[in-house]
Copies of this chain bind each other. A is one copy, B any other.
Amino acid sequence: MPPSTTPRLVVPIDVKKKPWEHKLPLHNRWHPDIPPVVDVTEGELFRVEMVDWTGGSIADNDSAMDIKFLDLSITHYLSGPIKVVDKEGIPAKPGDLLAVEICDLGPLPGDEWGYTATFDRENGGGFLTDHFPAATKAIWYFEGVYAYSPQIPGVRFPGLTHPGVIGTAPSHELLNIWNERERKLVKEGHQSLKLCEVLHQRPLASLPTAKNCLLGMIKEGSSEWEKIANEAARTIPGRENGGNCDIKNLSRGSKVYLPVFVDGANLSTGDMHFSQGDGEVSFCGAIEMSGFLELKCEIIREGMREYLTPMGPTPLHVNPIFEPGPVEPRFSEWLVFEGISVDESGQQHFLDATVAYKRAVLNAIHYLSRFGYSKEQVYLLLSCCPCEGRISGIVDAPNAVATLAIPIAIFDQDVRPRCGRVPSGPRVVKRTPDVLRCSYDGALPITMNPGGGAESS
């Protein structure tokens, strides 16, 4: 009897259930003591299913109210942890490198839709929250490899589908490093952040909070739960363990080389994106969906020590390595917008790629809004379509130069500048309907937690 290559389903999901109702319960924090829910063997092909990052809190409906009032302390709901062992049953060890190949991925059958959104400025905001403070939402439907949105008419593109979050569990030591440095930022941040005030309207970091904490098989209310919940790291930022790296090219055929910090590696995944633009600028910014991954792991013994050089005070200050896969959508024509590190007030910043990229994105939004779109439509579009954000120049003081390249073929009209065309004139057809949006009231009935993460009271 030959071997089957049907992937073993190790984490099943029922999107009709709540995240905490699953037999293999989900988790939404990083902590070494969250126990693995399943073992996989090196070389084995296995399938992991995942809820969307909010665990079903956002609905396919006609309102952005669910976005406006989403409590971010719930995110991201992850599947796993998955313990990885070699063919002799010996688990991956700290210091190894875990090579994870993404053999296939996609939406869950029967749940072929997603959403892109921006949060209210008082509740997490987005990269351009100073310009676009209101909560907005667009729904995307999938037709095989393609996505289209009723709220952003006239665009359709193939998805470069990927997991937003893929990572190993941190060790206690690494967790402490995270908590200390992020706490320090929150504490000291406001006085030192003079240059980029426009960005400060967003929380500086989301510190540990027991609120809405889900810890897999650790029973809520137990003393263990209390301890872990109060120190477990939030999942918002990417860190040394990979995590929410949001690398849009991590699609079919890709490989991730993750450092191993705990026995078994304890791999977790989630936050599936049908498609995302570099930067994921609107924050809830990819086409967010539930989905599945088909994975294959290899343990490179001592590989972390061999291949990754710590860039920091401890041997843990490392980052994963990636190999993108061979089946990305091909585009041959792009329109490229540039930004330099001068902000919208005209102030000069020193080689600040963040400011430069913000400017490039703003330039693109304003340009494309001349072709019949509202600025909010373009903001959401650039956040989720397969656009490329580049650091083009980072040395020519004082200006960093960042560029945003948009594939022309995703539009049903030619969006290039042309002689004698007046796109903003009366001939331009308004692209309707528009994004779903809530009003911006200036203050949400949400209390900020001490870590800066905005959460509803």
Contact = CB atoms under 8 A, between A and B. Distances in A.
A326 B332 contact: yes
Contacts of A417: 97, 99, 257, 300, 303, 306-307, 321
A95 to B, nearest CB: 14
**A-side interface mostly:** loop
6 contacts: A5-B112, A204-B398, A239-B340, A319-B363, A326-B332, A352-B352
A343 B184 CA distance: 14
A194 B61 CA distance: 46
Contacts of A366: 309, 311
Nearest to A392: B247
A112 B301 CA distance: 31
A85 to B, nearest CB: 15
Given A301-B419, A348-B184, A390-B390, A145 B253 contact: yes
Contact of A144 (B141, B240, B252, B390): B252
Interface string A390-412: 11111111111111010001000
A92 interface: no
A329 B329 CA distance: 9
A26 interface: no
A6 B144 CA distance: 9
A272 B112 CA distance: 23
Contacts of A221: none
Contacts of A113: 2, 5
Interface stretch (A185-193, A224-232, A438-446): A185-193
Given A283-B396, A306-B424, 11 more contacts: A5-B143, A158-B325, A184-B347, A185-B398, A202-B397, A238-B401, A246-B392, A247-B392, A247-B401, A319-B360, A331-B332
